[in-house]
């Protein structure tokens, strides 16, 4: 059993007496260097700094610990991007007791007057800063947990690049401690000044910001591409039929620019994607698109023919085939798809149409022929210009019977 004690920036002295006794009576105390340094001396007590890299080395450290009287120190709420969640993953909920303190996020909300339901927490500690991009929307309120004092300036640059130069930023450091301080400015006026390292930022995006939000159907020029891209009307239909859900995994086969997989990740909270693309230059372009649109930590690019990659991939919750469709690929994908999952495929030739008609005969689902026309100038007038019709097959795989 490990007791995880949340500590504010004020340190050991700010803990209730019962938790002070719990920490002082422990045989082993785990924590960060700053947290351990705040403790009074206790004769015979063993103190261990968290290993690095944490995820890889933590199981070895846990194997060396005694079965009881072990205390881990955490910052604020141990389950808010904290060590408490990691320990529960490794030991199970029955092996961990949590004693949370007021988190820096709660203190930031108190300072700004934001309600918990009106804002969203994004951590970039040890993660890509670009993940902030996918949370940007008109009127969004974000609390960004920062890696160190360089993050606020980098965050300001990202906001400007994303079209949020007027977003109001406040950096808060050492919240709840004697050294608490803050700085406020718009992203455009932030500059390169470094803040103290123990910092988070609140970000208020203007309600009139020119941002897309999470709904699918972004314009083609939002993506870098060479013409091999699922057009926005078809893409919105495909993602709508795929039904992104939180944490679900999509296979985007023959991904091209990656537009469908990226829109899937943006539409479902923390929805993941494996994009399979055999052409190296397109795969690299796809990676750049995923970074620019803020889903690079959710999207994996596999450079291979789709047929060669399937056996090595994690079981998907949904599959989209936009290029390279064959009858064999469709059937192999259908077999790998989990029960209850969704399959969507597009065909633009008569040969591939026949594959989808045959698939609908075997597996059911819905066949739709989509023809889109756009108004284009014709002399002094407007005329309808048709795009190539596309046949879409959308089907749900029956849930497996226990």
pLDDT in tens, 332-341: 999 999 999 9
- The conformation of residue 279, written as its DSSP 8-state character, comes to -
What pLDDT, on a 0 to 100 scale, did the predictor assign at position 402? 56
Question: By the 8 A CB rule, do 309 and 276 touch?
Answer: yes
The pLDDT score that the predictor gives to residue 34 is 86
Q: Which two tokens stand for residue 119?
A: 């804002």
Reported CATH class of domain 105-204: alpha beta
Q: What is the pLDDT of residues 40-86, one digit of tens each?
A: 999 999 999 999 888 889 999 988 888 889 999 998 899 887 889 99
pLDDT at 143: 97
Q: Residue 117 — very low, low, confident or very high, per pLDDT cuts 50/70/90?
A: very high
Architecture of domain 220-396: 3-Layer(aba) Sandwich (3.40)
Strand partners, 250: 273, 318
Q: 344 vs 178, which has greater pLDDT?
A: 344
Nearest one of 148, 149, 140 to 202, comparing CA atoms: 140
Q: Which pLDDT value is given to residue 400?
A: 76
Q: Which residue has the higher pLDDT, 157 or 213?
A: 157
Mean of all residue pLDDT scores within the chain: 93
Q: Give domain 2-102's CATH superfamily.
A: Tetrapyrrole methylase, N-terminal domain (3.40.1010.10)
pLDDT band at 274 (very low <50, low <70, confident <90, very high): very high
Q: Give the model's pLDDT for residue 250.
A: 98
SS3 229: coil
Burial of 300 by CB count in 10 Å (0-12 exposed, 13-18 middle, 19+ buried)? middle
Q: Which long-range contacts (CB under 8 A, 24 or more apart) does 89-94 make?
A: 90/58, 90/59, 90/62, 91/2, 91/62
| Range among 2-16, 45-59, 104-118 rated most confident | 104-118
More confident site: 55 or 377? 377
- Region 16-42: mean pLDDT is 92
Q: For the ranges 33-42, 113-122, 167-176, 238-247, which has the lowest average pLDDT?
A: 33-42
d(CA 355, CA 348): 11
pLDDT-wise least confident of 63-67, 100-104, 288-292: 63-67
Question: CATH 3.40.1010.10 region(s) of the chain?
Answer: 2-102
Residue with tokens 């260097």: 33
- pLDDT for 190 equals 97
Which residue ranges does the chain devote to CATH 3.30.950.10? 105-204
Residue 279 confidence (pLDDT): 95
What percentage of the chain reaches a pLDDT higher than 70?
100
Q: Is residue 145 within 8 Å of 124, Cβ to Cβ?
A: yes
Looking at residues 15-23, what average pLDDT do you find? 94
Range from 58-72, 161-175, 196-210 carrying the lowest mean pLDDT = 58-72
What was the pLDDT predicted at 235? 95
Task: Cite the residue boundaries of each domain of the chain with CATH code 3.40.50.150.
Answer: 220-396
Backbone φ, ψ for residue 97 (5° rounding): -110, 130
43: which residues sit within 8 A by CB, 6+ positions away?
A: none
């Amino acid at each position: 059993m490990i007791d995880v004690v949340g500590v504010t920036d004020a340190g050991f002295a700010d803990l209730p007496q019962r938790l002070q006794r719990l920490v002082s009576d422990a045989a082993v105390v785990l924590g960060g260097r700053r947290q351990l340094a705040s403790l009074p001396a206790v004769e015979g007590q063993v103190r261990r700094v968290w290993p690095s890299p944490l995820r890889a080395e933590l199981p070895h450290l846990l194997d060396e610990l005694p079965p009881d009287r072990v205390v881990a120190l955490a910052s604020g709420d141990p389950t808010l991007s904290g060590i408490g969640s990691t320990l529960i993953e490794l030991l199970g909920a029955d092996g961990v007791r949590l004693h949370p303190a007021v988190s820096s996020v709660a203190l930031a909300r108190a300072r700004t007057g934001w309600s918990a339901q009106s804002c969203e927490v994004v951590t970039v500690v040890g993660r890509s800063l670009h993940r902030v991009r996918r949370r940007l929307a008109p009127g969004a309120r974000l609390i960004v947990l920062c890696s160190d004092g360089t993050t606020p300036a980098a965050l300001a640059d990202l906001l400007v690049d994303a079209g949020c130069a007027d977003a109001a930023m406040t950096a808060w450091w050492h919240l709840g401690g004697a050294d608490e301080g803050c700085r406020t400015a718009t992203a455009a006026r932030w500059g390169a000044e470094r803040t103290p390292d123990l910092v988070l930022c609140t970000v208020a995006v203007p309600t009139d910001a020119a941002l897309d939000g999470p709904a699918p159907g972004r314009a083609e020029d939002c993506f870098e591409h060479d013409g091999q891209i699922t057009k926005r009307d078809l893409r919105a239909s495909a993602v709508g039929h795929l039904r992104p859900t939180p944490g679900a995994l999509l296979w985007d086969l023959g991904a091209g620019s990656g537009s469908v997989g990226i829109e899937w990740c943006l539409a479902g909270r923390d929805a993941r994607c494996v994009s399979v693309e055999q052409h190296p230059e397109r795969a690299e372009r796809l990676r750049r698109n995923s970074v620019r649109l803020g889903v690079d930590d959710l999207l994996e690019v596999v450079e291979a023919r789709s047929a060669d990659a399937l056996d090595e991939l994690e079981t998907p919750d949904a599959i989209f085939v936009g290029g390279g469709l064959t009858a064999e690929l469709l059937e192999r994908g259908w077999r790998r798809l989990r029960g209850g999952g969704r399959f969507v495929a597009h065909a633009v030739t008569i040969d591939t149409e026949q594959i989808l008609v045959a698939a609908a005969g075997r597996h059911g689902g819905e066949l739709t022929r989509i023809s889109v026309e756009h108004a284009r100038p014709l002399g002094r007038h407007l005329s309808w210009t048709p795009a190539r019709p596309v046949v879409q097959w959308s089907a749900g795989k029956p849930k497996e019977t226990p």
